[in-house]
Amino acid sequence: MNIIFYILGLSIPLLIIYWLVNDKLKSMVMITGTIIFLWYISLPSLLVLIVSSLLIYFTLQQFNSNAKTIVSLILSTAGVLFFFKINIKQEYISLGERVLPFGLSYYSFRQIHYIFESYKKKLPKHDFLDFLGYLFFLPTLYIGPINRFQSFLKDNQRKRWDSQFFSYGLERILYGLFKVTFLGNFLISLKLSNYSGNFIINYPWLYQYIQMVVFYLNAYFQFAGFSDIAIGLSALFGYRIMENFNYPFVASNIADFWKRWHISLSEWCNEYVFQPILSISRSFIISIFFSIIVLALWHEISYKYILWGLLHIIALNVFHFYNNTALYQLLNKYPIMQKVLGIFITIHFVMISFMLIKTDDLKDFGNFIKILFLVS
Amino acid sequence: MYSWLYNKFGNKKANIMIIFWYMAILFLVIISLDTYQARFKYGGW
């Protein structure tokens, strides 16, 4: 059974206790629930989360205005993520087989966000329990979004029962499950993928095209579905969590795409990589290079993801320069045509770039391109 | 969803329609549960 069902199952008794106890104990209930869950799923994951959280909180309590301490904390948090990512042997997991500590990719970025904001003195007044509640929040532990501490704290202090919001949460979970199971797994991965088999001999380019669509749509429905479940589950506990997707297939350019796909991660990279580097270097190219490389390596440390990142860097730069060309000014006179053309080019670029991740190696990707564009 | 139905059809009809809507989605989720497996390859989290 998938881990998401363990989270949903554990959430039922947790929710009953959570809404029965008084406000002061609610955070404790959530933290305890997460600890029990991690203890059962993977004890090392629990230890990594506890040790890193304690280290960050108490170091910041002592030296939160010392730049050297801040840099060391960020580097050590990123280093832990890098260490586990580079050692990962399998990309997906079943219970008990996980190599990467559970949820590390998400909470390490939350921790870095907390360190940055603490240094900038932008964090509202809070205590240790608020901090732990943020990192030990079960609904978003597994698959994000990388929510922000400030908005979390607002909900954490409110904790008001709202039957309409609770019902909204249940609806989001249902839609999330629908996206993952019916749309992603059944309709796209099974039915559409099998249907494409009809074209494998006579129209290999069409077969490859459908396979590319299958991979992109499946990734979207799975990821957006899991995000819906996380957002819905958070709503059941009274928390409003930021959206992670906003119809990425209608993005009219690549910059727009990154404002619609995995929003919490791209905003994180914008805030903590792009903006700081831009303020130092004053160079769009350098800033976009580092932020997309961080974004790519966050997914997986491999040459395929670096190449995928480079493709997006090139596309973002091309779009940046295209904005200042006469062609852009000319097409601007025909906004509908520009929009349609933009959507067509963006979605196809994104799908082709995603195939770089799906294919086994560069040779495989080269063969895919040749077949798709009827070169062979 | 409910507010849209409520505005379009009124309270009584919306209550019935929303129940059917949720039941239909739940049904589709349940029938596709047997295809539920790790088909998702999108990096190591």
Classify residue A46: in a domain, yes or no. Answer: yes
In the predicted structure, residue A314 carries a pLDDT above the cut 60: yes
Task: Looking at the structure, tell me whether residues A139 and A33 fall in a common domain.
Answer: yes
Q: Quick: pLDDT tens for A243-263.
A: 999 999 999 999 999 999 999
Task: Looking at the structure, tell me whether residues A215 and A262 fall in a common domain.
Answer: no
pLDDT value for A16: 95
Q: Which of residues 157-196 of A touch B (CB under 8 A)?
A: 167, 171, 174-175, 177-178, 180-182, 184-187, 189-190
- Last residue of some domain: A236, A258, A286? A236
Classify residue B39: in a domain, yes or no. Answer: no
Task: Looking at the structure, tell me whether residues A210 and A265 fall in a common domain.
Answer: no
CB contact under 8 A, A100 and B45: yes
Range of the domain at B10: 2-34
Minimal Cβ distance to A186: which of B26, B32, B41: B32
Phi, psi angles (nearest 5°) of residue A244: -110, -20
Task: Looking at the structure, tell me whether residues A228 and A273 fall in a common domain.
Answer: no
- Considering only CA atoms, which of A350, A323, A348, A353 is closest in space to residue A338? A323
- Last residue of some domain: A212, A236, A260? A236
In the predicted structure, residue A150 carries a pLDDT above the cut 60: yes
Classify residue A14: in a domain, yes or no. Answer: yes
- Last residue of some domain: A123, A158, A193? A158
Q: Which two tokens stand for residue A289?
A: 């290079």
DSSP state of A124: P
* Rounded Cα–Cα distance for residues A319 and A341 (Å): 13
pLDDT value for B39: 45
Minimal Cα distance from B45: which residue of A? A105
Q: Quick: pLDDT tens for A75-109.
A: 999 999 988 888 665 444 444 455 678 889 999 99
* Rounded Cα–Cα distance for residues A65 and A121 (Å): 9
Q: How far is A322 from chain B (nearest CA, A)?
A: 30
Average pLDDT over residues A336-347: 93
Minimal Cα distance from A297: which residue of B? B43
CA angle A278/A281/A282 to nearest 5° reads 60
Task: Looking at the structure, tell me whether residues A356 and A256 fall in a common domain.
Answer: yes
Is residue A353 within 8 A of residue A312, CB to CB? The reply is yes
* Rounded Cα–Cα distance for residues A23 and A276 (Å): 38
* Rounded Cα–Cα distance for residues A148 and A135 (Å): 11
* Rounded Cα–Cα distance for residues A236 and A169 (Å): 5
Task: Looking at the structure, tell me whether residues A51 and A175 fall in a common domain.
Answer: no
Residue listed under structure tokens 């549960």: B33
Q: How far is A185 from chain B (nearest CA, A)?
A: 6
Classify residue B45: in a domain, yes or no. Answer: no
Classify residue B40: in a domain, yes or no. Answer: no
Q: Which two tokens stand for residue A89?
A: 């042997």
pLDDT value for A332: 83
In the predicted structure, residue A358 carries a pLDDT above the cut 50: yes
The domain total for chain B is: 1
The domain total for chain A is: 3
Is residue A143 within 8 A of residue A171, CB to CB? The reply is no
* A-B C-beta contacts closer than 8 Å: 81
In angstroms, the Cα distances linking A127 to A27, A124, A134, A156, B16 are 12, 10, 11, 12, 46
In the predicted structure, residue A12 carries a pLDDT above the cut 60: yes
pLDDT value for B29: 85
Range of the domain at A275: 248-372
Classify residue B18: in a domain, yes or no. Answer: yes
In angstroms, the Cα distances linking A10 to A16, A100, A178 are 11, 22, 20
Classify residue B41: in a domain, yes or no. Answer: no
A369: contact with B, CB 8 A cutoff: no
| 3-class state of residue A9 by DSSP | helix
- Which residue of B22, B39, B41 to mutate against A (max A Cβ within 10 Å)? B39
Task: Looking at the structure, tell me whether residues A12 and A150 fall in a common domain.
Answer: yes
- Considering only CA atoms, which of A298, A311, A230, A234 is closest in space to residue A265? A298
In the predicted structure, residue B18 carries a pLDDT above the cut 90: no
Minimal Cα distance from B40: which residue of A? A219
* Rounded Cα–Cα distance for residues A87 and A98 (Å): 11
- Which residue of A171, A220, A228 to mutate against B (max B Cβ within 10 Å)? A171
pLDDT value for A41: 85
Q: How far is B11 from chain A (nearest CA, A)?
A: 16
Task: Looking at the structure, tell me whether residues A86 and A220 fall in a common domain.
Answer: no
- Which residue of A100, A164, A168, A186 to mutate against B (max B Cβ within 10 Å)? A186
- Considering only CA atoms, which of A254, A58, A217, A198 is closest in space to residue B40? A217
In the predicted structure, residue A155 carries a pLDDT above the cut 60: yes
Minimal Cβ distance to B39: which of A91, A218, A300: A218
Task: Looking at the structure, tell me whether residues A67 and A185 fall in a common domain.
Answer: no
Task: Looking at the structure, tell me whether residues A143 and A206 fall in a common domain.
Answer: no
Classify residue A228: in a domain, yes or no. Answer: yes
Cβ-Cβ contacts under 8 Å for A74 (sequence gap 6 or more): A112, A115, A116
CB contact under 8 A, A184 and B39: yes
3-state secondary structure A103-119: CHHHHHHHHHHHHHHHH
Q: Quick: pLDDT tens for A277-300.
A: 999 999 999 999 999 999 999 988
Residues of chain B neighbouring A94 (CB-CB closer than 8 A): 38
- Considering only CA atoms, which of A309, A310, A323 is closest in space to residue A253? A323
* Rounded Cα–Cα distance for residues A187 and A193 (Å): 9
Is residue A220 within 8 A of residue B40, CB to CB? The reply is no
In chain A, how long is the greatest CA-to-CA distance? Answer: 69
CB contact under 8 A, A299 and B32: no
Task: Looking at the structure, tell me whether residues A12 and A117 fall in a common domain.
Answer: yes
Task: Looking at the structure, tell me whether residues A126 and A271 fall in a common domain.
Answer: no
